[in-house]
Structure 1
Amino acid sequence: MARRQGQSDLPLDVRRRVHAPTSSAVVVEAVLDALPSPTLLIDAEGTVLLANTAWENAADVLGDERMRIGVDGDYFAMARRLSGDAGTLSLVDRLRALSRGECSSVQADYALEHPDGTRWLHLQASRVDQAGQVVVTHTDVTSRVAAERASDWRARHDTLTDLPNRAHLHELIDAELHRPDRGPVSVLFLDIDGFKDVNDSLGHDAGDDLLRQIARRLTGSTRADDTVGRLGGDEFVVLCRDCDTPGAQTLADRCRSSIDRPFDLGGRMVRLGVSIGIATAADPQAPQVRSTDLVRDADLAMYAAKAAGRNRVRLFTADLRTAAQRRATVANELREAILDEQLVLHYQPVLRLPSLRCTGVEALVRWQHPKRGLLPPSEFLPVAVQHDLMTPLARWVLREATGQAVAWTRAGMPLITSVNISASHFSTGTLVRDVRDALAATGLPPEQLVVELTETSVAQDAERAAAQFAELRLSGVEVSIDDFGSGFSSLAQLVAMPAGILKIDRSLVAYPEGRRSKAAAAVAAVVALGRACGARSLAEGVETAEQLEMAIELGCHLAQGFHIARPMPPEQLAEWVAARGDRPLTPSGR
């Protein structure tokens, strides 16, 4: 039952006789006492007029004497005893304003520190009469606040490592950049070298365990004021507060050392490296830098570290940004070039050995840029790789090369045409369909098409490559492994790979002076290996008559290179073939 302040020790019937409440007052008491939440009726000065049973029960359950109304009955004083912070003082002021009729209601969530933990209460107050009396209800919302805070924490943190996620990292970096008295702010962008191999070979559970171990090591390698976060995948960022460039380099070296130690993944020891880029906002008086700018610059420096050989640390420079902007411009222009037919194909002859008859060509893409002229692949293929343009580019090459091959066949010059495919193309799973679509659109027999993929690309996903290569060969399309001898594929992969041609890398064919015997031994080994696996061998990069003679001598089936002919437009190639007639090209080139 509700109690009037000052008479809490009197029996209820005595209190009723003392105060002789009116019928309306009895109704108010009954209503307040029926409310499940702890509720008080206070006057304009904060004096407690009524406290319902739920209020006193809450004080008993919590065992918190601070919640008991003192002899003075001052609610405002009790609130200040619970918490004297600025929020409580503001709340008292708002309740006074409510009593004066200056607002219609007051609502607020506040924390009540308790030995058993923090309790959260929702206060809701309303003015009940012209005298300024106010009803104040307190509802325990600890469960709701805990759920909201947990949800908010999950939204800001990576679920695997418990580190701040991308969004929260940017918030933290921006907050630090806007701090008025801040010192230099540095960001480390880290990409784990070799993580994909571990994930692919040992499985995702091992990969997840590895990421958690990496997170712990990075956290242990940084200072107390630094923040380690995970952007996603195997990319991490470290926010280094009050840290100049030399200090950031020291931290980066410590991070590298921590990753360099072996990781134990279920009893299997794994070694990794890490490429790290550093960007620093040193001058707080300089134009405001955003977190996106700083992270982007560190990312560019990280890619420079990877390009320099991986497991390195690189500092951001303005040249990196200029180069990135140029690559972005080239990528946009290349997208338009694929659609606007600005690309052209040049074809390099392939000779059959030992007859030295031209039986095929390799299609090599060039870009007829409207302003910069004819561009070689080195000017745009790296950009195409970085911006996921290799697959649409390869589709264009397939259509153009197969169409040209059909035109040559109709002109009485049937040539087998080879087309280069990137690893990203077969990883999409559309390679077989794209080849079939090109053959169907142009009418080229599948036996006149060769699909080439580099050895290192095949090694990235040997099983997927083998499955698609087998399907292509069943349809009649030949498959070639390019640059063989330059990569790291195993003999087991080669045996399992349904390839019909091994292109011996130019580094073995174009041997240094005085190294002919060793080069010959390597080429002979590849030729023998190919024969054992049912594959023909092609010597690429033949640049001298002596190299061509060696290829013939060692039993290579095919050859191509500048000594034979340089890549040329289709009309010039037709003239070149016509000029040769049926006369074989001699090893000396005459």
Structure 2
Amino acid sequence: MQDPANPPLDGSSNDVIAARMRALLVRAPMAVGFVQGPRFEVVSEYFNQLFGHGDETDLSGQATRSVHVSDGAHSGVFERMAQAFAAGRPLDEEIEYVRQDGSRFWGRLQATPVHWDVPAGEALWVIDDVTAARQLRMQPTWTAKHDALTELANRREFERRLAEHVGSRRHEPVSVLWIDVDKFQEVLTSMGSEVADHFLYGLGQMLVTKVRASDLVARLETDHFAVLLPDCDQHYAQIVAEKIRSSIAAYRLRWGLHRTRVKACVGVVQLQPNLESVESVIGAATLACAEAKASGGDSVRVFVSNGGFEELAG
């Protein structure tokens, strides 16, 4: 017996595309919905589950107002979405939603037009449940240790963790990377602070994927990041630094109609006896990075014990 939800294909490209879309909406663990005006056209199975719907109920065809806590909240989302789309940007913000049973949760909505040349047409919504993450960010202990924009460690936490290794007698090698994004001011000037903020957030999350779980990635200044590498000598720190440099060069920001790319310089230093304080370690890594920048950028330099530098070609 033929499953009515999966009719046979006649081989046309439209049928193949439709089958792929059905499979994606049923099987992908993502809350994805297509919205036309104030109504859900079609939503994924996970989207339904997120809002407390199941086999007997479906948000497809229902009003988008049904998932918002009030008329004002609903209209406000659509007003901000229209403004963002008109400016060539997605809407990306955290919103309080209501489930079918009346319970509430916080979701991160990422909405984009299906066709950017028709910003008032059909839109794609992707929603993630960020309730737990939001509660964590609201705790004073979290805010004291993290950068609010990138959610990485902040300078205070980085220096505290580094201080645990400076002067340590455990004799395990520890290295530090200083990362300076080249010409970031041009991104800020040409695209504005909102796009630049999303770029920094995405860049920070990408950096986390390039290091071990035991390493610490931090944002220390506007476009300066640092990485603490416990149990890592200079040789392996160079390998990590080069991987990070090449990953940044390959990273693309795609934010609505905005596209950009940057490169970066990386300074490397392994903790050594003549670097007796947190400030001196950071200073050495910064000097190595400055040397890389002075040589033209998009490269890695290593601080050595005599105060000189070794080059690792980019």
Question: Please, what TM-score do these two structures have when normalized by structure 2?
Answer: 0.51
Give the superposition deviation at 1:239: 0.2
Alignment-derived partner of residue 267 in structure 1: 257
Give the superposition deviation at 1:178: 5.0
For the pair 1:315 / 2:299, whether they are aligned, the reply is: no
Provide the alpha-carbon RMSD of the alignment.
Answer: 2.5
Name which of 165, 186, 192 aligns with 1:197.
186
Pick closer, same or farther for the CA change 1:154–1:321 going to 2, 3 Å. Answer: farther
Give the superposition deviation at 1:259: 0.7
Pick closer, same or farther for the CA change 1:148–1:224 going to 2, 3 Å. Answer: closer
Alignment-derived partner of residue 152 in structure 1: 141
Give the superposition deviation at 1:165: 0.9
SS of the residue 2:166 aligns to: helix
Provide the C-alpha distance between the structure 1 equivalents of 2:149 and 2:170, rounded to a whole number of angstroms.
34
Q: Deviations over 1:104-127 (max 9, x none)?
A: xxxxxxxxxxxxxxxxxxxxxxxx
For the pair 1:293 / 2:283, whether they are aligned, the reply is: no
Matches within 5 A, 1:188-227: 188-227=177-216
Provide the C-alpha distance between the structure 1 equivalents of 2:171 and 2:255, rounded to a whole number of angstroms.
41
Give the superposition deviation at 1:292: 1.4
Give the superposition deviation at 1:227: 0.5
Q: Deviations over 1:346-388 (max 9, x none)?
A: xxxxxxxxxxxxxxxxxxxxxxxxxxxxxxxxxxxxxxxxxxx
Matches within 5 A, 1:96-111: none
Give the superposition deviation at 1:162: 1.1
Q: Deviations over 1:295-343 (max 9, x none)?
A: 1100000000000010110011456589xxxxxxxxxxxxxxxxxxxxx
For the pair 1:236 / 2:225, whether they are aligned, the reply is: yes
Alignment-derived partner of residue 123 in structure 2: none
Alignment-derived partner of residue 251 in structure 1: 240
Note if contact 1:297-1:321 (Cα within 8 Å) is conserved in structure 2: no
Provide the C-alpha distance between the structure 2 equivalents of 1:293 and 1:191, rounded to a whole number of angstroms.
18
SS of the residue 2:139 aligns to: helix
Provide the C-alpha distance between the structure 1 equivalents of 2:137 and 2:200, rounded to a whole number of angstroms.
27
SS of the residue 1:176 aligns to: coil
Provide the C-alpha distance between the structure 2 equivalents of 1:321 and 1:260, rounded to a whole number of angstroms.
26
SS of the residue 2:267 aligns to: strand
Provide the C-alpha distance between the structure 2 equivalents of 1:159 and 1:279, rounded to a whole number of angstroms.
27
Pick closer, same or farther for the CA change 1:203–1:293 going to 2, 3 Å. Answer: same
Pick closer, same or farther for the CA change 1:173–1:310 going to 2, 3 Å. Answer: same
Note if contact 2:136-2:142 (Cα within 8 Å) is conserved in structure 1: no
Moved over 2 A (4+): 146-149, 176-182, 265-269, 286-289, 317-322
Provide the C-alpha distance between the structure 2 equivalents of 1:179 and 1:317, rounded to a whole number of angstroms.
19
SS of the residue 2:178 aligns to: strand
Q: Structure 1: 5+ residue runs without aligned partners?
A: 1-145, 323-590
Matches within 5 A, 1:26-425: 150-177=139-166, 179-261=168-250, 262-282=252-272, 286=273, 289-317=276-304, 320=307
Pick closer, same or farther for the CA change 1:279–1:242 going to 2, 3 Å. Answer: same
Pick closer, same or farther for the CA change 1:221–1:203 going to 2, 3 Å. Answer: same
SS of the residue 1:221 aligns to: coil
Q: Deviations over 1:377-416 (max 9, x none)?
A: xxxxxxxxxxxxxxxxxxxxxxxxxxxxxxxxxxxxxxxx
Alignment-derived partner of residue 453 in structure 1: none
Matches within 5 A, 1:9-20: none
Provide the C-alpha distance between the structure 2 equivalents of 1:194 and 1:215, rounded to a whole number of angstroms.
17
Pick closer, same or farther for the CA change 1:288–1:275 going to 2, 3 Å. Answer: closer
Q: Deviations over 1:429-477 (max 9, x none)?
A: xxxxxxxxxxxxxxxxxxxxxxxxxxxxxxxxxxxxxxxxxxxxxxxxx
Alignment-derived partner of residue 506 in structure 1: none
Matches within 5 A, 1:547-566: none
SS of the residue 1:171 aligns to: helix
Q: Deviations over 1:535-580 (max 9, x none)?
A: xxxxxxxxxxxxxxxxxxxxxxxxxxxxxxxxxxxxxxxxxxxxxx
Alignment-derived partner of residue 40 in structure 1: none
SS of the residue 1:239 aligns to: strand
Provide the C-alpha distance between the structure 1 equivalents of 2:274 and 2:190, rounded to a whole number of angstroms.
47
Give the helix-richer structure, 1 or 2: 1
Q: Deviations over 1:202-252 (max 9, x none)?
A: 000001001001101111011121100010100000001111111011000
Give the superposition deviation at 1:281: 1.2
Structure number with greater Rg is 1
Note if contact 1:274-1:310 (Cα within 8 Å) is conserved in structure 2: yes
Provide the C-alpha distance between the structure 2 equivalents of 1:253 and 1:188, rounded to a whole number of angstroms.
11
Alignment-derived partner of residue 422 in structure 1: none
Give the superposition deviation at 1:180: 4.2
Provide the C-alpha distance between the structure 2 equivalents of 1:304 and 1:154, rounded to a whole number of angstroms.
33
Matches within 5 A, 1:428-467: none
Q: Deviations over 1:153-212 (max 9, x none)?
A: 212211101111111110000113355424111110000012111111100000100100
SS of the residue 2:153 aligns to: coil
Q: Structure 2: 5+ residue runs without aligned partners?
A: 1-134, 310-314
Pick closer, same or farther for the CA change 1:247–1:148 going to 2, 3 Å. Answer: closer
Pick closer, same or farther for the CA change 1:182–1:148 going to 2, 3 Å. Answer: farther
The structure with higher relative contact order (CA 8 Å, sep 6+) is: 2
Q: Deviations over 1:47-106 (max 9, x none)?
A: xxxxxxxxxxxxxxxxxxxxxxxxxxxxxxxxxxxxxxxxxxxxxxxxxxxxxxxxxxxx
Note if contact 1:176-1:182 (Cα within 8 Å) is conserved in structure 2: no
Q: Deviations over 1:266-294 (max 9, x none)?
A: 23321110011111115xxx467322111
Provide the C-alpha distance between the structure 2 equivalents of 1:318 and 1:182, rounded to a whole number of angstroms.
17
Note if contact 1:300-1:321 (Cα within 8 Å) is conserved in structure 2: no
Note if contact 1:264-1:270 (Cα within 8 Å) is conserved in structure 2: yes
Which amino acid in 2 is paired with 1:266?
G
SS of the residue 1:314 aligns to: strand
